[in-house]
Amino acid sequence: MYDNNPTIPGHSKEMDESKQGTALMLDDNPSTNKKSFYIESYGCQMNFSDSEIVASILAKAGYSSTRNMEESDLILINTCSIREKAEDTVRRRLTEFNKVKRSKPSTIIGVLGCMAERLKAKFLEEEKLVDIVVGPDAYRDLPNLISSADEGNRSINVLLSREETYADIAPLRLQSNGISAFISIMRGCDNMCSFCVVPFTRGRERSRDPFTIVSEATDLFQKGYKEVTLLGQNVDSFKWENPETKEIVSFADLLEMVALVHPDLRVRFSTSHPKDITDDVLYKIKDYKNICNYIHLPAQSGNSRVLKLMNRTYDREWYLQKIDRIYEIIPDCAISSDFISGFCTETEDEHNESLSLISYAKYTMSFMFFYSERPGTLAAKKYEDDIPLDIKKRRLAEIVELQMNLSLEHNLKDVGQTFEVLVEGDSKRSAEEFKGRNSQNKVIIFPKVAGVKPGDYLDVKVTDATRATLRGVAV
């Protein structure tokens, strides 16, 4: 579950994280004497989605948003703990915020999200200029925590919940293109991948009432949105029991419910866990044209021994069978992945098995990382982080290089083909060109056509391909 722009093949996620540290804002609202907040978000799509929930809670509490940190009364940072580098970025930003606070001491600084949850009160001890610390399940308490901080009390709420899904809160869409939106369908994670901090920072898995999900999707469509991405750490284990009828709604059922909102509303989802994705889900993708032919199916490693140490609960053969099954049911499906190089005790041969798995799976792109030990995780407790950094990095470079070649190969195969593209807006480089995506989540750039606007669907024939993008012409 990552950024909404998984189109650059072979790039490291670390780059993404720093890139994603963008200030989010609502319409600037300079007219009132209301208090204002400024928020920056890091990490995965779920964190970005949470920032939209936070913005909604703050708006209700009378705060307007600003993109000017110096002017704001409240500076918030929604943080990520997934790798050490992600936390380093947050600390650097806090140093910048502290400079602002020194010149304007009434400014409240708040740390939200996974790093707040991981470090808890330690944050208040370590980072002297942090006023509030709020974990991912405690955002409803923000107005209270802010009032308390206004009175000079540094405050913290990092309670995790088994129920909280923020189902009733309509997220304020921040920095939206008005075409695509995220919808959180569940929170937390019950898997215990040994390298991963998420179960500790996000708590137990819980699924959101599917009817609130459908009404959010319907509302978005009525507002002109044409694409929703259903978010969860492990969407395939979505499971909701109707309290009255006791009927179970599975992820496959949910996909169908959202697909039925309107044939012109594209449905995407992330992330799928190889152990949980079912044939039912694959058939829904096949049966509904508006459920996109794209699956993010992180492998992490191609070697069964390493996968066992990682506690992924599948082995190489199981994963390869899943890949075969996907291509069997949805032949034109695009698949992407995540890999970690240099996990504890990984040998050269085992690393080579990651490379061979990547070649077999023919991913359109991957997010690739070298292993970063996280305090408190099973791996940190049980295994030695024994692969030297230079070897981790060299193995990562080999994975990246291979993926880039595969991405190019994949894209070259698209040349000459015509795809239905959802127009998202101007291309980055030119106001004469549009940028859009096909069902496989590949970005296609093409010259503008009279009468076509963002949010329209259009058939585009691919004429040219690089590793990262396709170019084409409307047909």
| Residue 338 binds which of ligand F3S, ligand SAH, ligand SF4, none (CB < 5-8 A, kind-dependent) | ligand SAH
Whole-number Å distance between alpha carbons of 359 and 342: 19
Give the footprint of ligand SAH on residues 361-390 (CB under 6 A): 369, 371-372, 374
Query: Whole-number minimum distance, CB 235 to ligand F3S, in Å?
Result: 14
Residue with tokens 């093409």: 446
Which CB atom, from 275 or from 461, has the smaller least distance to ligand SAH?
275
Give the footprint of ligand SF4 on residues 256-315 (CB under 6 A): 273
Whole-number Å distance between alpha carbons of 425 and 5: 14
Contact string 63-102 vs ligand SAH (x = CB under 6 A): -------------------xx-------------------
DSSP code per residue over 385-432:
--S-HHHHHHHHHHHHHHHHHHHHHHHHHHTT-EEEEEEEEE-SS-TT
Q: Is 173 a binder of ligand SF4 (CB under 6 A)?
A: no
| Residue 199 binds which of ligand F3S, ligand SAH, ligand SF4, none (CB < 5-8 A, kind-dependent) | ligand SF4
Residue with tokens 């190019």: 408
Cα 388 off chain centre by:
29
Q: Are 171 and 355 in contact (CB under 8 A)?
A: no
Residue number with the smallest Cβ distance to ligand F3S? 43
Q: How far, in Å, are 5, 9, 430, 450 from residue 433 at the CA level? A: 18, 22, 6, 11
Q: How far, in Å, are 22, 81, 85, 322, 341 from residue 88 at the CA level? A: 16, 9, 5, 36, 20
Query: Whole-number minimum distance, CB 130 to ligand F3S, in Å?
Result: 18
Q: Is 195 a binder of ligand SAH (CB under 6 A)?
A: yes
Q: Is 302 a binder of ligand SAH (CB under 6 A)?
A: no
Whole-number Å distance between alpha carbons of 325 and 428: 36
Q: Is 234 a binder of ligand SF4 (CB under 6 A)?
A: yes
| Residue 293 binds which of ligand F3S, ligand SAH, ligand SF4, none (CB < 5-8 A, kind-dependent) | none
| Residue 81 binds which of ligand SAH, ligand SF4, ligand F3S, none (CB < 5-8 A, kind-dependent) | ligand F3S
Q: DSSP 3-state assignment of 17?
A: helix
Candidates 51, 207, 300, 439: give the one binding ligand SAH (CB under 6 A). 300
Which CB atom, from 84 or from 219, has the smaller least distance to ligand F3S?
84
Give the footprint of ligand SAH on residues 211-250 (CB under 6 A): 233-234
Segment near ligand SAH (CB under 6 A); pick from 126-134, 193-201, 409-417, 418-426: 193-201
Backbone CA torsion sign across 251, 256, 258, 264: positive
Q: Are 129 and 149 in contact (CB under 8 A)?
A: no
Q: Where along the sequence are the contacts to ligand SAH (CB under 6 A)?
A: 1, 82-83, 195-196, 198, 233-234, 271, 273, 298, 300, 338, 340, 369, 371-372, 374
